[in-house]
């Protein structure tokens, strides 16, 4: 089996490279959007408790809906293709991103905040010089979860015509070609593992740099 999978990578290298690049493109777009929206929402939530309650509840509810069902619902609204896939993946990725941003920012020691305000920090200084750096480690751990999740979910995106490595899985399932299915899955898993290892290393550096801990 392993031999035939390696053989498959060798024979269809062009096909797999193309799918890999598509997958990286889709997940990169989703990661950028999720990070931006997640950070902004998290920030907004720290200023408006009502918005915080609504967003946290809503994102938890989205989490309980099976991903395939979300794709189904979105296809009926935004049609088959990349747009639906990106919306669904972003919706899924928002919870860890929003929660970590919100938690990170609200858990900064009140005494530190008061010291910064008492010394004359404006809102902008307080956010960029004090709160965000001190929340960075927590935000980054949410970012890491989101990235791994987005890479994995990218595999399902091809089921609604978005491309990516899920196409190899889909093709393997529909033609009963197990090697193809496994070859596609292995590549997705490999990207996720590599990304996780890199981000784990960066997270450790961030923790040491900003909090002086490895936790």
Partner 1 sequence: MSPWAIEFDHISKSYTPEEVVLTDINLSIKAGELVVLLGHSGCGKTTLLKLVNKLLDFDSGYLRIHGKKISDWDIEQLRRSIGWAIQHGALFPHMRIWENISYVLRLQGVEKNRRRERAAELLQVVGLPAEYLDRYPRSLSGGQRQRVGVARALAANPSIILMDEPFGAVDEQTRLQLQQELLQIHARFGQTILFVTHDIHEAFRLGDRIVLIDEGKILQAGSKEELVFEPASERVSSFLGTKGFSALLDDELLCDLHAQVQSGSFDPDLCLQRLAAIKGPALKAGPSASDRSP
214 belongs to the binding site for partner 1 (CB under 8 A) = no
Stretch that binds partner 1, among 69-77, 106-114, 159-167, 171-179 (CB under 8 A): 106-114
Among positions 18, 121, 185, 204, the unique one binding partner 1 when judged by CB under 8 A: 121
133 belongs to the binding site for partner 1 (CB under 8 A) = yes
The minimum distance between CB 111 and partner 1, in angstroms, equals 5
Nearest by Cα to 155 from 137, 169, 136: 169
Segment 140 to 199, residues that bind partner 1, using CB under 8 A: none
120 belongs to the binding site for partner 1 (CB under 8 A) = yes
111 belongs to the binding site for partner 1 (CB under 8 A) = yes
Helices (H), the chain: 2-11, 13-47, 49-64, 67-78, 82-106, 110-118, 123-125, 132-157, 166-174, 178-211
Stretch that binds partner 1, among 18-26, 104-112, 160-168, 176-184 (CB under 8 A): 104-112
Other CB atoms within 10 A of residue 38 CB: 26
48 belongs to the binding site for partner 1 (CB under 8 A) = no
Among positions 8, 26, 74, 134, the unique one binding partner 1 when judged by CB under 8 A: 134
Total residues contacting partner 1 by CB under 8 A comes to: 21
Nearer to partner 1, 128 or 201 (CB): 128
Could you give phi then psi for residue 65, rounded to 5 degrees? -85, 130
Nearer to partner 1, 10 or 124 (CB): 124
Task: Return d(Cα 97, Cα 34) in angstroms, integer.
Answer: 7
Task: Indicate the SS3 state at residue 164.
Answer: coil
202 belongs to the binding site for partner 1 (CB under 8 A) = no
- 195 neighbors 147 (Cβ within 8 angstroms): yes
Nearest by Cα to 135 from 161, 112, 155: 112
Q: From its phi and psi, is residue 159 left (phi > 0), alpha (psi between -120 and 50) or beta?
A: alpha
Stretch that binds partner 1, among 28-36, 116-124, 153-161, 196-204 (CB under 8 A): 116-124
The minimum distance between CB 53 and partner 1, in angstroms, equals 25
Task: Return d(Cα 131, Cα 66) in angstroms, integer.
Answer: 35
Residues contributing to the site for partner 1 (CB under 8 A): 109, 111-112, 114-122, 125, 129-130, 133-134, 209-212
């Amino acid at each position: 089996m392993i031999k035939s999978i390696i053989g498959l990578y060798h024979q269809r290298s062009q096909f797999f490279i193309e799918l890999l690049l598509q997958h990286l493109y889709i997940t990169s777009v989703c990661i950028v959007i999720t990070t931006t929206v997640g950070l902004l929402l998290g920030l907004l939530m720290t200023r408006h408790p009502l918005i915080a309650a609504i967003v946290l509840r809503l994102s938890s509810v989205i989490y309980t809906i099976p991903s395939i069902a979300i794709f189904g619902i979105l296809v009926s609204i935004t049609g088959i293709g990349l747009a639906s896939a990106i919306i669904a993946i972003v919706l899924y990725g928002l919870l860890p991103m929003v929660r970590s941003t919100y938690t990170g920012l609200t858990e900064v020691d009140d005494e530190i905040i008061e010291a910064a305000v008492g010394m004359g920090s404006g809102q902008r200084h307080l956010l960029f010089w004090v709160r965000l750096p001190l929340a960075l480690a927590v935000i980054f751990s949410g970012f890491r979860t989101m990235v791994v999740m987005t890479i994995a979910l990218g595999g399902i995106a091809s089921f609604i015509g978005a491309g990516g490595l899920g196409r190899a899985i889909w093709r393997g399932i529909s033609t009963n070609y197990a090697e193809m299915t496994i070859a596609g899955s292995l590549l997705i898993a490999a990207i996720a593992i590599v990304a996780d290892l890199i981000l784990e290393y960066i997270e450790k550096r961030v923790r040491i740099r900003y909090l002086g801990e490895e936790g």
